[in-house]
Structure 1
Amino acid sequence: MHPHSMPDPSRTIVPRRARELGLGIGELPTGTYNAITDVPGIRVGHTTLIRPPRVHSGVTAIVPDGVGPASPLPAGVFTGNGYGKLLGTTQITELGALETPVLLTSTLSAFRVADALVGWILEQPEGADARSLNPVVGECNDGLLSDIRSRPVREEHVRAALGTASAEPVAEGSVGAGTGMTALGFKAGIGTSSRRLPLAGQEVTLGVLVQANFAGTLRVLGRTIAPADVGVPAEEPGLGPEAGSCMIVVATDAPLDARQLTRLARRAVYALARVGAGYSHGSGDYGLAFGTRPLGTPAGPTVVPDAGLDPLFGAVLDAVEEAVLNSLLTATVVTGPYGHTRYPLPAAPLLALLG
């Protein structure tokens, strides 16, 4: 592809994940699917809303088995830059407990999604006796490529994402909450990755899922890559994703308490610097980490000593970096209601550039 040619939006794009292209990050092995669903007990579902040219939006549900107000999971949250809406943050910070699935969506749909999540939980066995509930919903701004003011995500879409959540491979790119997202000058969206590693005498799994929608200049394996370098038109001035919010969800079966999970969430946000995040004024950058094994019960595991967490910190840095690359490589061309088109990171020119 000529470095200044424009990709044909009608061309069939075959999504390719970073690892399939030889761009896997780090030395640790991945789980079976290289996805957050490699963590036992985690399911993911998407509802994708596409009504061209006006609507490119959706919702993504990360569902830990059995989670509810009577069976919370240890959790921690870190706010890199608070220009965003991560509903439920203060109670997680205060109590270190996750009571609901984690849902991701578009900015102005976040509040409808939270209400629908409350209704769904109250109908589940885990919420049968609930008189208080802390729904956790994150968002990114898809207003460049979708009619965000129409608030297209409704209760039935939330229920569909929750109801179809599975432990199978996770769809990536322009799906669910990632449908209208852009990052680093490219079309982006949902990305995921996982790592397996020994920790405190046992093998544990860590998985991440990102909703990538942030500004900056892409870096791949330490090399800076502008859209024009791989034949993708540059963003129009002033129309980047400054109003976006990068949401990172981390799940692990490692025996960590809430304070340690907060430390893990910090590293997840730090990892965005590896791929060139600009951490701009208007880009909210959030990390939410939770464990799948409840602590504080007779059968609960012994917490890993802080001095033993370094391997897990390295794993989350690698997994987030790879998940962001996956979101860029697996996305599809989208043209929004205002005539703006965003293109994914094309694999062949990228590999040629990296040599």
Structure 2
Amino acid sequence: MKKNLRNVLVLGLGLITTIASAQMTVESKTRALQDSEDAVKQRISVAATWGGDDWSVHTSSDVHYSVDASAVAGYDIYEAYASTDVMGFGTLTVGRQDLSFGSGALISSNDWGMNRLTTDGADFAANFGGFDISVGTFGRDRNNNYMNAGGEFSGVSFNVLMLNNGDLSANGYDFGYSLMGGDLNLMYSMNSDFNENEMTMMGASYNVFENMSLSYSMTSYSEDNSGTFSSANSAMNDGWNNGMLGFQAAGTDVTTIGLSYDLGGINLGYTMHTVTHGDHEDDASVISLGYSMTDNASISLDRFTYMDANDVEVESTWITLEIGM
């Protein structure tokens, strides 16, 4: 009896020590559709990180549910990885990670939507002479890998992403130029998915005032595409479910104008899309309003207006409450 009690106490002390040594974060995101009493989504994320000078272990999990026509609840391991320094040359990370490279057309995070985008594999990241380089694999398949390289010099920035999945390949090339002391920024992005579908983006943003900016961009999907440009690891793949316009069909051109205004604790934004396919033209818009109540809590309103697949106008207003600690 005493031996069992001792073992329990030792195990409990070890568990308490392990938990106490971790850096813990908790975030709760609740989103409600204003136009419906039955559309509520919530995600609670709990993360813990242990580490030393040249190593770390990170794990995080999501508990989420949706109260709508589907009424779905679930628990997912969001991230779980271990990182270590490799003789001062770079950092090796193995496990499940949330990655984002370049424009995000091929690989990006998804924080607005409820479905996370993660990859299981290994990543080696290093900096060589001002170039940030990441090389990694997806899963245990050595034929499914990626390489990303980026850098910035004298206002000129670039990012090159190359993906392989067996005999298939995808790539993204992003270029940027900053001038007028950083008030004017130009960008150009070329992307090709695993089915050789192509998407090209170009645009500019200008800081009118210190707290106000304007943006303009054009996105074109090649008429030679075999279908709709897609990438399973991009938040753009699920469109409005992730709070954005998303990918469009072959031969489509999209013109986007945006305005953002920061009033300190209050943020205002407006984005208008004009989607043109042949002689057919649709409009879509996003109105956003955010308020930071405290350092750990914020509330925001997002109103989407767009045309669905049946050419019917859809309007939805989402109210989001975020609390972190």
Normalising by the smaller structure, the TM-score range is under 0.3
**Normalising by structure 1, what TM-score?**
0.24
Which protein shows a greater Rg?
2
Between Structure 1 and Structure 2, which shows a larger proportion of helix residues?
1
* More strand as a share of residues: 2
Question: What TM-score does the superposition give when structure 2 sets the normalisation length?
Answer: 0.25
